[in-house]
């Protein structure tokens, strides 16, 4: 049920093209019905097109958001790649440093082994020869000062060997500690690299996921663009057919049948109980799109409509706006019960959405203000 009752009054203005009525237009009602159906289809296509465009707007917004996320993921991935590359350089440098320390340790140990060997060799010789050799060296002195000098020399040799071996051992131990510290740092570098690689794998997975979402939205946008293009093409065909029908209908109303007689000097208001126009003649917004309204919708209170629970017993009658001949009186899918009156001089009025069948029939001559039917909501 409509939220208000209405009557549509369509006035066809005088045209400047005159001519005989085409035989193909003998049944004007069929053309009017097709025109109404086309207008309905156009409105439906406009609604579908608006819905598709609204969806495209949502897709575009989602795409912008996803592209920002994708850019962020790619930037993060690039930063991680740089950090991993830097880490690999540090690891390589650390490994080279460890290798250098190992080389130093090896050289020090070789030197230690060499010096230890020399010392052991002297000790073996001393062991084989016993203490006699040292005594011979000492007692072969030519004087007491020479004896002291020889004793000091022998002590210096022994001290020098011991000191050298201790220094080499200390150097080896220090190098070993340095190597251990480097190896500990290497472990930290390797662990950090492994963490960065795990982060990179997660960032790569995120990038691929978002890239997939972007591709899906782009595909959705492409499909919507195709749908909009198809809807526009279909609407273009309907607009073309509507223009053809309107031209044919115009020729019909410009024909002699409609031009005969004088145009009415005055028109009366067709619904005396109200002057409220719920939708005026001209451009209006329908389903979010501009729409040309070819009539006016007059909406009286429900108290005048027999189909309402608030009906008070007196209906709102539809009156003929001017005298003329009834040319249509029937039911229409969109207009519901309606009447069309030819007034002469190229003027006609159409009264739609009557509550029940009209009170006049085709061919009736009506006077201004004559009752045609009751305001309703059919169609």
Same domain, 317 and 194: no
| pLDDT of 15 over the 60 cut | no
Model pLDDT for residues 362-376, shown as the tens digit of each residue = 889 999 999 999 998
Same domain, 342 and 262: yes
pLDDT (0 to 100) of residue 24: 35
**CATH number of the domain bearing residue 329:** 2.70.70.10
Same domain, 217 and 70: yes
Same domain, 182 and 260: no
- For residue 221, how many other CB atoms are within 10 A of its CB? 16
* Cα–Cα dist 152/138, whole Å: 10
pLDDT (0 to 100) of residue 345: 80
E strand or H helix at 365: strand 365-366
Same domain, 171 and 265: no
Given pLDDT bands bounded at 50, 70 and 90, which one contains residue 18? very low
Q: What number is the average pLDDT over the span 108-118?
A: 72
The percent of residues in the chain predicted with pLDDT above 70, rounded, is: 76
pLDDT (0 to 100) of residue 371: 97
Same domain, 294 and 354: yes
Question: What region does 264 belong to: left with phi over 0, alpha with psi -120 to 50, or beta?
Answer: beta
17 in any annotated domain: no
**CATH number of the domain bearing residue 209:** 1.10.287
Q: What is the 3-state secondary structure (H, E, C) of 22-72?
A: CHHHCCHHHHHHHHHHHHHHHHHHHHHHHHHHHHHHHHHHHHHHHHHHHHH
pLDDT (0 to 100) of residue 269: 93
Rounded alpha-carbon distances, angstroms, from residue 362 to 53, 197, 202, 350, 358: 46, 88, 80, 13, 10
- Domain end call among 174, 208, 224: 224
* Cα–Cα dist 64/247, whole Å: 47
Domain range enclosing 152: 63-224
Q: What number is the average pLDDT over the span 244-258?
A: 70
Which of the pair, 378 or 118, is modelled with greater confidence? 378
Given pLDDT bands bounded at 50, 70 and 90, which one contains residue 138? low
- Domain end call among 179, 208, 224: 224
Q: What number is the average pLDDT over the span 131-143?
A: 53
Q: What number is the average pLDDT over the span 287-309?
A: 82
Which residue from 63, 13, 37 is spatially nearest to 332, judged by alpha carbons?
37
201, HSE (Cβ side, Cα atoms, 13 Å): 5
Which of the pair, 31 or 86, is modelled with greater confidence? 86
Q: How many domains does the chain have?
A: 2
pLDDT (0 to 100) of residue 135: 53
246 in any annotated domain: no
Model pLDDT for residues 60-77, shown as the tens digit of each residue = 999 999 899 889 888 988
Same domain, 305 and 368: yes
Given pLDDT bands bounded at 50, 70 and 90, which one contains residue 321? very high
Mean predicted lDDT score pLDDT of the chain: 77
Model pLDDT for residues 325-362, shown as the tens digit of each residue = 888 888 887 788 999 888 888 788 889 889 999 999 98
């Amino acid at each position: 049920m409509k939220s208000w009752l209405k009557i549509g009054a369509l006035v066809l203005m005088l045209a400047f093209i005159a001519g005989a009525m085409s035989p193909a237009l003998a049944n004007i009602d069929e053309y009017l019905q097709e025109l109404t159906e086309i207008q309905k289809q156009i409105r439906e296509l406009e609604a579908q097109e608006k819905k598709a465009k609204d969806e495209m707007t949502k897709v575009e917004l989602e795409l912008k958001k996803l592209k920002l996320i994708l850019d962020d993921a790619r930037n993060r991935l690039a930063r991680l790649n740089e950090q991993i590359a830097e880490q690999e350089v540090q690891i390589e440098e650390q490994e080279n440093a460890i290798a250098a320390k190992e080389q130093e340790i090896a050289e020090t140990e070789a030197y230690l082994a060499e010096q230890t060997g020399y010392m052991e060799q002297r000790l073996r010789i001393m062991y084989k020869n016993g203490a006699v050799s040292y005594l011979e060296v000492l007692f072969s002195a030519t004087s007491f000062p020479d004896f002291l000098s020889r004793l000091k020399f022998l002590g210096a040799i022994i001290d020098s060997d011991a000191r050298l071996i201790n220094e080499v051992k200390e150097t080896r131990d220090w190098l070993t500690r340095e190597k251990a510290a480097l190896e500990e740092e290497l472990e930290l570098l390797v662990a950090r690299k492994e963490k960065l690689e795990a982060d990179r794998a997660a960032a790569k997975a995120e990038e691929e996921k978002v890239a997939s979402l972007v591709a899906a939205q782009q595909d959705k946008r492409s499909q919507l663009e195709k749908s909009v293009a198809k809807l526009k093409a279909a609407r273009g065909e309907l607009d073309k057919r509507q223009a053809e029908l309107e031209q044919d209908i115009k020729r019909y109303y410009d024909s002699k049948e409609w031009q005969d007689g004088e145009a009415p000097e005055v028109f009366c208001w067709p619904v005396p109980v109200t002057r409220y126009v719920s939708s005026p003649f001209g451009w209006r917004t329908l389903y979010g799109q501009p729409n040309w309204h070819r009539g006016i919708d007059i909406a009286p209170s429900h108290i005048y409509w027999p189909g309402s629970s608030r009906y008070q017993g007196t209906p709102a009658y539809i009156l003929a706006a001017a005298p003329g001949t009834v040319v249509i009186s029937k039911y229409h899918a969109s207009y519901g019960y309606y009447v069309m009156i030819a007034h002469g001089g190229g003027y006609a009025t159409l009264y739609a959405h009557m509550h029940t069948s009209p009170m006049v029939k085709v061919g009736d001559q009506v006077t201004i203000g004559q009752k045609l039917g009751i305001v309703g909501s059919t169609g």
